[in-house]
Amino acid sequence: MTVHKYSDIKLLVKTESFDSIVLQRGERMSSDKDFIKQITKRSDDFSRWYTDVIKRAELADYTTMKGMMVIRPYGYEIWEHIQSNLDKMFKDTGHKNAYFPLFIPESFLKKEAEHVEGFAPEVAWVSFGGDEELEERLAVRPTSEAIICSMYSKWIKSWRDLPVLINQWANVVRWEKVTRPFLRTTEFLWQEGHTVHESAEDAQSETLRMLNIYKTFAEDYLAIPVISGMKSEAEKFAGAESTYAIEALMPDGKALQAGTSHNLGQNFSKAFNIRFETRDQNLEFGWQTSWGVSTRLIGALIMVHGDDSGLVIPPRVAPLQAVIVPISRGNWKETVLPEAQKLFSSLKEAGIRVYLDDRDTYTPGWKFSEWEMRGVPVRIEIGPKDIEKGQVVLVNRINREKSFVEIGNLMIELNNLLEKIQKDLFEKALKYRKDNTVTNKTLNDLAQTIEEKRGFVRSGWCGSPDCEAKVKEKTAATIRVIDNKKESGINKCLVCGKDSTDTVIFAKSY
Ligand SMILES: [Zn+2]
């Protein structure tokens, strides 16, 4: 019997010698039309592959309004797993959720000068309520510092009121010129934490605590390795004292900023008059932070883990961790299906997110491809022969490796495999990042790296904005973070040759 890999099958589809293809489990395709539509190969056109996968896997869809996307149920479910896990991490560190208005009066937004300047080009405005022109325009929040600070100035009177540790899950609007699903859309979902503290030290430790939570979440749940560190002045949040970020390297060699944590110092508390009586009965402005991650994380996950067959979703955030495909042969509905249903119930009861694909309108082969494309980490196959042997077949989405497992051991083996997939995805991405991180000592070397293969470039930097701007002008690469580990051997600025104050990581970015 000829055995084809699924990748071979997709190529053969084009040649129309399709009916003769025998699938691995001995099933025939019923017709060409039944087979899932092709997605562009990732290696051929990364950008098209990305949008193909999003559409085919039904994560999101475009609307008639430019830059506005719909997150479809399968995509939204990934967001729900991101939300629930992060929310727990926030609450475990003392934060509580609240909700503030979508609209911000123009005068509020103008209070912090840098803030308004930074966001003005992207703000959507409401000027009318029904037919009536408003006395004051309302901004649709691009971020909520202004509205939240206006309330904090009412609520905070004494050191006894501090710290205030509030998070909001919300949508925000930024009128973007160039948009891409999940990565940059006019409206997106996110969480924004806004805290107030008694001292500069407390605000700084909160800033770093949340940065670390983001790093842990990205690595442990999304299986995406990230570098973290402070941003340069040019790259920091409008109105912040300092901004810290986590940055992930995408398979096209570009960096994606995946989360930010800002130390706002007293910039906003002075602008909004958030003052409190200190322990020694003086008046002091509060020390603030804000921090956020968005649905952009889904974009990162798609890019980092996907392959030519479609999505690969890390088990911890996967809407479905396993799918059961009964092998439909002969009187399978009387023989195989009841066994598959038993498996389904026991896995579901054990807390596995599982789906039993018992549709009889599709062949098992079609279903295999469909669920691979949708990135379900483990496929469980069960057929008449398996039942005779008291086994099922587990198939690993990353490499299609099969393991034959006694039904009695299924829970243990499945959990092990899910853990292994979670870990292997991270290791694979980490290896890619290591292979694509280089050290460059001159601007010319950096320009060549960015031109030829992109990736992360570690360099020395004197701290001057001019030198930073020269790199951007010549290569379009920017400082993603200032590395906290100063590397020996990198001691000169790559542009001016003066002593470097920091080791920085450059990359082209999304
Ligand atoms: Zn320099």
Helix (H) or strand (E) run with residue 262 in it: strand 255-265
Q: Are residues 321 and 400 in the same domain?
A: yes
Residues 385 and 339 in one domain: yes
Q: Tell me, yes or no, whether 355 and 395 share the same domain.
A: yes
* Cα 433 to middle of ligand 1, angstroms: 26
My answer on whether 331 and 219 are in the same domain is no
Q: What is the mean pLDDT of the chain?
A: 91
Q: What is the DSSP string of 400-417?
A: --EEEEEGGGHHHHHHHH
Does 203 score more than 90 pLDDT? yes
Cα 204 to middle of ligand 1, angstroms: 28
CA 227 / ligand 1 centre spacing (Å): 23
Q: What is the CA radius of gyration of the chain?
A: 26
CA of 467 relative to ligand 1 center, distance in Å? 5
- DSSP single-letter state for residue 37: P
Q: 502 C-alpha vs ligand 1 centroid, how far in Å?
A: 11
Give the pLDDT confidence score for residue 26 in this predicted structure: 38
Ligand 1: distance of its center to the CA of 488 in Å? 17
**Domain presence at residue 60:** no
Among 280, 304, 328, where does a domain finish? Answer: 304
Please give the DSSP secondary-structure letter assigned to residue 462. -
pLDDT computed for residue 491 by the predictor? 87
Ligand 1 center to 468 CA (angstroms): 8
Q: Measured in angstroms, how far is the CA atom of residue 117 from the centroid of ligand 1?
A: 27
Q: Give the model's confidence band at 37: pLDDT under 50 very low, under 70 low, under 90 confident, else very high.
A: low
Ligand 1: centre distance to CA 496 (Å): 4
Confidence of residue 440 (pLDDT cuts 50, 70, 90): very high
In this structure, what token pair is assigned to residue 367? 């279903």
Describe the chain by its helix, strand, coil percentages, rounded to 5: 40, 25, 35
Place of tokens 């992207």: 122
Residue of higher predicted confidence among 201 and 8: 201
3-state secondary structure 81-106: HHHHHHHHHHHHCCCEECCCCCEEEH
The CATH number that applies at residue 406 is 3.40.50.800
Residue 21 reports pLDDT greater than 70: no
Give the structural domain span for 360. 317-420
Separation between Cα atoms, residue 361 and residue 288, nearest integer Å: 58
> pLDDT confidence of 38, banded at 50, 70, 90?
confident
CA of 493 to the centre of ligand 1 (A): 5
3 has a pLDDT exceeding 60: no
Q: Do 202 and 79 contact (CB within 8 A), yes or no?
A: no
User: Which runs of consecutive H residues, i.e. helices, occur in 313-455?
Assistant: 332-349, 364-373, 384-389, 410-435, 443-452
Q: Provide the CB-side half-sphere exposure for 263 (13 A, CA).
A: 20
Residue ranges in 221-261 assigned as alpha helix (H): none
Residue 75 included in any domain: yes
Q: 233 and 164: one domain?
A: yes
Average pLDDT on 136-162 reads 97
- Per-residue pLDDT at 347: 97
Distance 451 CA to ligand 1 centre (A): 21
Distance 282 CA to ligand 1 centre (A): 43
Q: Does residue 463 belong to any structural domain of this protein?
A: yes
Residues 23/29, Cβ–Cβ less than 8 Å: yes
Å from CA of 225 to ligand 1 middle: 29
Distance from residue 499's CA to the centre of ligand 1 (Å): 8
Query: Residues 6 or more apart from 347 whose CB is under 8 A from it?
Result: 322, 324, 354, 410, 411, 414
Give Cβ neighbours of residue 25 (< 8 Å, ≥ 6 apart): 327, 364, 365, 368, 381, 383
C-alpha torsion 161→163→169→172, nearest 10: 90
**113 shares its domain with 217:** yes
> Do the domain assignments include residue 36?
no
CA 460 to centroid of ligand 1, rounded, Å: 8
Q: Tokens in use for 398?
A: 């990353």
What is the pLDDT averaged over residues 368-375? 96
Domain end: 367, 388, 420, which one? 420
Nearest to 290 by CA among 92, 53, 69, 95: 95
Per-residue pLDDT band at 372 (split at 50, 70, 90): very high
Distance of alpha carbon 389 from alpha carbon 405, whole angstroms: 10
Q: Are 360 and 328 in contact (CB under 8 A)?
A: yes
Tell me, in angstroms, the distance from the centre of ligand 1 to residue 56's CA: 47
Its sign, for the CA torsion 119, 121, 126, 128, is: positive
CATH of the domain at 471: 3.30.110.30
Between the CA of 458 and the centroid of ligand 1 the distance, in Å, is: 14
Distance CA 202, CA 482 (A): 22
Tens-place pLDDT, residues 165-192:
999 999 999 998 888 999 999 999 999 9
How far, in Å, is the centroid of ligand 1 from the Cα of 494?
A: 7
Query: Is 80 exceeded by the pLDDT of residue 30?
Result: no
Answer yes or no: do 267 and 121 share one domain.
yes
Q: How far is the CA of 249 from the centre of ligand 1 (A)?
A: 25
Q: Is the pLDDT of residue 5 over 70?
A: no
Q: H-helix or E-strand containing 468? A: helix 465-475
Tokens found for residue 208: 């770093």
| Total structural domains within the chain | 3
Q: Is 228 left (phi over 0), alpha (psi -120 to 50) or beta?
A: beta
Which band of pLDDT confidence, cut at 50, 70 and 90, is reported for residue 36? low
**Any domain includes 41:** no
Q: Are 140 and 126 in contact (CB under 8 A)?
A: yes
Which tokens is 1 given? 């019997």
- What's the 501 CA to ligand 1 centre distance in angstroms? 9
Query: 245 CA distance to ligand 1 centroid (A)?
Result: 23
Above 70 in pLDDT, residue 14?
no
- For residue 207, the model assigns a pLDDT of 98
Ligand 1: centre distance to CA 486 (Å): 16
Do 283 and 210 lie in a common domain?
A: yes
Last residue of a domain, one of 304, 339, 354: 304
